[in-house]
Amino acid sequence: MRGFLALFNTRMKELAREPEAVFWIFVFPLIMAVGLGIAFRSTPPQPSRIVVAAGPGAARLASMLQQDPQLRVITAPSSEAADGFRLGRYDLVVTAEGADAAMQYDPARPESVLARALASQALERAAGATAPLAVSATANSAPGSRYIDFLIPGLLGMDLMNSGMWGVGFALVEMRQRKLLRRLAATPMRRGDFLGAVLASRLVLMLIDLVLLLGAGVLLFHMRVMGSWLAILLISTLGALAFGGLGLLTASRHEKIESATGIMNLVMMPMWVLSGVFFSYERFPAVLLPWIRLLPLTAVNDALRACILEGAPLHTQLGRLAVLAVWSVITFAAALRIFRWS
Amino acid sequence: MSAAVVCRGLRKTYTGGRTAPVEAVRGIDLEVGEGECFGLLGPNGAGKTTTIEILEGLLEPTSGEVEVLGLRWKTSARQLRQWLGVSLQETRLNEKLTVEETLGLFASFYRHPSPVAEVMAALALNEKASSWVGKLSGGQRQRLAVATALVGAPRLLFLDEPTTGLDPQSRRQLWDVIAGFQRGGGTIMLTTHYMDEAAQLCDRLAIVDHGIIIALGTPTELIARHGGEGGTLEDVFMNLTGRRLREQ
């Protein structure tokens, strides 16, 4: 215990004395959250951009379309209209055909599909059509259902993974490269104490990170944290341990930073894509889903989202917590076995 | 005098994936008495570091037997680590820790460490107690490396080229520390390139070349046997290792 505490203390001191580390650990995730939050903030819907190909009857169509404030209507020569549509400047091309209208839209672009629907409606209404049925609708963008609400727990999970893997892995490979590990192996230091202290020091930083990120979500984006902070803390701790263990394992043999970097990316890449950081992993084929759910980042993201967004109590998340616990134990035990001290 | 280090038929062959195997140590027998200061001399690549790292329990020999302070690495590693002080070649300690913190950390690993202040005083590191390791000069770093070896109050001290690259004052300062450790009853095993250092510090020497011991004895014996008329240890070294160079 004395050895562990001494190692933990010195590790914390070292980290605190490393200005770059402090930047990467604390400032970077915040910049990222703020940047993405701004990019994906809830904005009033953009008007659909419609181009009317110039020709006989174009002016009439344009004025009919302009009666709908959700449409922005431009008249342009037909070749320019076609080019603009192809390049994505316009969502829809409308051409007059006698008294009728022809539309050109792209079914693969949601905004184009929307423009077509709105434009048809506007033209029909302007031509005198009446609705056979009254439908009322109210707008609802309450906190909790926005993209930013989905994103922040994912960012938290990703941040746990990045800082766990890089923080633990890099530090160890670097110590091996400077032969410090070899020197330590020549002392009676308990090896588990050492690896445990490296993990634990990282854990503390990750938890500070967590509070910063989630705090930014609450303050800047008015996120609502539905579950208990204690549950969030516990999920994150287990996640941090799992990723720390994974970092330990990936860094357990490499002597050079360069080769370690490659393998770390190899381990993290699938999780960036599969584990639902930026979009829901339910989009992947159903046969893959059970496997995707076994990845530690998926377990962290799912548990954090359930807790933060739905207020799910901790006992409903036991399966995901078990996934994380298993990853922590297996990676730590394996790392301890195959770890190279020189 | 009981033996602090005994090794018999020590061999170490490095087998690389694609390269031919390298026989770094090709059959070394040694016996170092308790309280003795024993030196391993030899040109670069002679197998000194490999030998000493096997004795330190950091490398496994390919074959041969090692006994340190009456114990074997296989069965008593934890106990042995408590008794040994080690200074390796080119270790870069944490640059962002102070001298005092570094020694405190190493002391925490031992059951009966020496007081950090005492060790710092012995190695003239007092003034640098609160300096970061990254800010130390080469000589101060090397003294700190030896200090980390001494802070565990070892019975046996392994020093791999402890004074390489030091200025004359720093070397003498380290010699005093090593001699003081021996006066206190400690055993020392060191490697060096410097003949004056070997002559000054070591009770006995082994000259190692190409992985075997080519001469063994006290400095005086070696000079008498291999030094020629009015020779020095330097002549012994050149005669022995130089001849082998010419023979190849």
> How far is CA B118 from its chain centroid?
22
Interface of B with A in 26-85 (CB under 8 A): 56-58, 78, 81-82, 84
Residue B56 has φ and ψ, to the nearest 5°, of -75, -5
Q: Cβ of B96 and A185 within 8 Å?
A: no
Does residue A139 lie within any of the structural domains?
no
- Domain identity same for A61 and A192: no
Does residue A263 lie within any of the structural domains?
yes
Q: Where does chain B show beta strands of DSSP type E?
A: 3-14, 22-33, 37-41, 63-68, 84-87, 156-160, 187-192, 204-209, 212-217
Cα–Cα distances in angstroms (integers) from residue A259 to residues A85, B73, B98, in the given order: 47, 32, 31
Specify the residue for token string 């690896």.
Answer: A195
Q: Where does B15-163 show beta strands of DSSP type E?
A: 22-33, 37-41, 63-68, 84-87, 156-160
Q: CA-to-CA distance for A283 and A276, rounded, in angstroms? A: 9
Q: State the distance between the two ends of chain B, measured CA to CA, in whole angstroms.
A: 40
Q: Which residue has the higher pLDDT, A308 or B227?
A: A308
- For the stretch A200-254, pLDDT in tens is 988 888 888 888 888 888 888 888 888 898 999 999 999 999 999 999 999 998 8
Q: Is the CB of residue A101 less than 8 Å from the CB of residue A61? A: yes
Look at residue A219 in the predicted model and tell me its pLDDT: 84
What is the rounded average pLDDT for all residues in chain A?
87
- For the stretch A30-69, pLDDT in tens is 787 778 777 766 666 678 899 999 888 888 889 888 888 8
Q: Cβ of B58 and A13 within 8 Å?
A: no
Q: What is the distance in angstroms between the Cα of A341 and the nearest Cα belonging to chain B?
A: 9
- Domain identity same for A176 and A210: yes
Q: Cβ of A188 and B109 within 8 Å?
A: yes
Look at residue B243 in the predicted model and tell me its pLDDT: 59
Q: What is the distance in angstroms between the Cα of A237 and the nearest Cα belonging to chain B?
A: 27
Q: CA-to-CA distance for B3 and B36, rounded, in angstroms? A: 9
Residue B119 has φ and ψ, to the nearest 5°, of -65, -40
Does residue A136 lie within any of the structural domains?
no
Q: What is the mean pLDDT of residues A124-145?
A: 75
DSSP assignment letter at A288: G
HSE (side-chain half, CA atoms, 13 Å) at B172: 2
Look at residue A24 in the predicted model and tell me its pLDDT: 73
- Domain identity same for A83 and A222: no
- Alpha helices (H) along B48-156: 48-55, 73-83, 99-107, 116-122, 138-150
Specify the residue for token string 């192996």.
Answer: A185
- For the stretch B50-61, pLDDT in tens is 999 999 999 999
Q: CA-to-CA distance for A246 and A267, rounded, in angstroms? A: 9
Q: CA-to-CA distance for B177 and B172, rounded, in angstroms? A: 9
- Is A6 an 8 Å CB contact of chain B? yes
Residue B234 confidence class, pLDDT cut points 50, 70, 90: confident
Give the residue from chain A lying closest to B91, CA to CA.
Answer: A179
Residue B179 confidence class, pLDDT cut points 50, 70, 90: very high
Q: Cβ of A187 and B92 within 8 Å?
A: no
Q: Which helix (H) or strand (E) holds B119?
A: helix B116-122
pLDDT over threshold 80, residue A132: no
Look at residue A108 in the predicted model and tell me its pLDDT: 87
Between strands B204-209 and B37-41, the pairing is: parallel
Q: Which positions in chain B touch A18 (Cβ < 8 Å)?
A: 96
- Domain identity same for A234 and A315: yes
Specify the residue for token string 């393998």.
Answer: A263
- For the stretch A175-194, pLDDT in tens is 999 899 999 999 999 988 99
Look at residue A206 in the predicted model and tell me its pLDDT: 82
Task: Record the tokens describing residue B190, joined without a space.
Answer: 């060191």
Q: CA-to-CA distance for A227 and B19, rounded, in angstroms? A: 59
Q: Cβ of A188 and B152 within 8 Å?
A: yes
Q: CA-to-CA distance for A80 and A128, rounded, in angstroms? A: 31
- Domain identity same for A195 and A308: yes
**CB neighbours of A315 closer than 8 A, spacing ≥ 6?**
none
Q: Cβ of A186 and B109 within 8 Å?
A: no
Q: CA-to-CA distance for B212 and A340, rounded, in angstroms? A: 28
Q: CA-to-CA distance for B137 and A63, rounded, in angstroms? A: 82
Q: CA-to-CA distance for A8 and A24, rounded, in angstroms? A: 20
Q: CA-to-CA distance for B152 and B68, rounded, in angstroms? A: 17
Q: Which residue has the higher pLDDT, B209 or A42?
A: B209
A315-324, B21-30, B229-238: least confidently modelled range: B229-238
Q: Cβ of A183 and B96 within 8 Å?
A: no
- What's the total number of domains in chain A? 2
Which of A95, A126, A157 terminates a domain? The answer is: A126
Look at residue B216 in the predicted model and tell me its pLDDT: 93
Does residue A254 lie within any of the structural domains?
yes
A13-22, A164-173, A227-236, A328-337: least confidently modelled range: A13-22
Sign of CA dihedral B57, B63, B68, B70: positive
Task: Record the tokens describing residue A48, joined without a space.
Answer: 């659909």
Q: What percentage of residues in chain B have a pLDDT greater than 90?
A: 64
Q: What is the ipTM of this complex?
A: 0.91
According to DSSP, the residues that pair with B32 across neighbouring strands are B5
Q: Is the CB of residue B104 less than 8 Å from the CB of residue B39? A: no
Does residue A227 lie within any of the structural domains?
yes
pLDDT over threshold 70, residue A141: no
Look at residue A22 in the predicted model and tell me its pLDDT: 74
Residue B96 has φ and ψ, to the nearest 5°, of -95, 10
Q: What is the mean pLDDT of residues A112-132?
A: 86
- Domain identity same for A116 and A167: no
DSSP assignment letter at A317: G
> In one letter, which amino acid is A150?
F
- Is A12 an 8 Å CB contact of chain B? no
Q: Cβ of A3 and B56 within 8 Å?
A: no
Residue-number span of the structural domain to which A18 is assigned: 2-40+146-338
Does residue A193 lie within any of the structural domains?
yes
Q: CA-to-CA distance for A166 and B33, rounded, in angstroms? A: 48
Give the residue from chain A lying closest to B100, CA to CA.
Answer: A10
Look at residue B82 in the predicted model and tell me its pLDDT: 95
Task: Record the tokens describing residue B16, joined without a space.
Answer: 């690389």
Q: Cβ of B92 and A180 within 8 Å?
A: yes
Between strands A71-76 and A48-53, the pairing is: parallel
The partner residue sitting opposite B105, judged by closest CB among A10, A178, A185, is A10
Give the residue from chain B lying closest to A187, CA to CA.
Answer: B81
Q: What is the distance in angstroms between the Cα of B50 and the nearest Cα belonging to chain A?
A: 13
Specify the residue for token string 């003034």.
Answer: B127
Domain residue extents for chain B: 3-247
- Domain identity same for A216 and A269: yes
DSSP assignment letter at B81: H
Sign of CA dihedral A182, A162, A22, A237: negative
Residue A100 confidence class, pLDDT cut points 50, 70, 90: confident
- Domain identity same for A296 and A206: yes
pLDDT over threshold 70, residue A275: yes
Q: CA-to-CA distance for A134 and A85, rounded, in angstroms? A: 34
Q: What percentage of residues in chain B have a pLDDT greater than 70?
A: 97
pLDDT over threshold 80, residue B17: no
Question: Which of B105, B133, B146, B151 is the mutation pick for testing A, counting most A CBs within 10 A?
Answer: B105
Q: What is the distance in angstroms between the Cα of B69 and the nearest Cα belonging to chain A?
A: 16
Cα–Cα distances in angstroms (integers) from residue A54 to residues A47, A51, A59, A291, B10, in the given order: 21, 9, 8, 55, 94
Q: Cβ of A17 and B94 within 8 Å?
A: no
Q: Which positions in chain A touch B88 (Cβ < 8 Å)?
A: 179, 182-183, 186
Q: What is the distance in angstroms between the Cα of B236 and the nearest Cα belonging to chain A?
A: 33
The partner residue sitting opposite A6, judged by closest CB among B84, B104, B132, is B104
- Domain identity same for A91 and A205: no
Give the residue from chain A lying closest to B84, CA to CA.
Answer: A187
Task: Record the tokens describing residue B198, joined without a space.
Answer: 């070997």
Contacts across the A-B interface (CB distance below 8 Å): 64
Look at residue B178 in the predicted model and tell me its pLDDT: 93
- Domain identity same for A252 and A310: yes
Q: Which positions in chain A touch B78 (Cβ < 8 Å)?
A: 188
Percent helix, strand, coil in chain B, to 5, is: 40, 25, 35
For B3-247, CATH gives 3.40.50.300
Look at residue B33 in the predicted model and tell me its pLDDT: 94
Look at residue B32 in the predicted model and tell me its pLDDT: 95
- Domain identity same for A92 and A121: yes
- Alpha helices (H) along chain A: 2-16, 19-22, 28-39, 58-65, 78-86, 110-126, 147-177, 180-185, 191-221, 229-250, 257-274, 289-292, 296-310, 318-338
Question: Which of A17, A183, A255, A340 is the mutation pick for testing B, counting most B CBs within 10 A?
Answer: A183
Look at residue A142 in the predicted model and tell me its pLDDT: 64
Q: What is the distance in angstroms between the Cα of B43 and the nearest Cα belonging to chain A?
A: 23
Task: Let me know if B140 is exposed, middle or buried by CB neighbors in 10 A (0-12, 13-18, 19+).
Answer: buried
**CB neighbours of A285 closer than 8 A, spacing ≥ 6?**
none
- Is A17 an 8 Å CB contact of chain B? yes
Q: What is the distance in angstroms between the Cα of B168 and the nearest Cα belonging to chain A?
A: 26
Question: Which of B108, B130, B161 is the mutation pick for testing A, counting most A CBs within 10 A?
Answer: B108
pLDDT over threshold 60, residue B219: yes
> DSSP 3-state assignment of B21?
coil
Q: Is the CB of residue B100 less than 8 Å from the CB of residue B120? A: yes
> DSSP 3-state assignment of B70?
coil
Q: Cβ of A188 and B82 within 8 Å?
A: yes
- Domain identity same for A157 and A245: yes
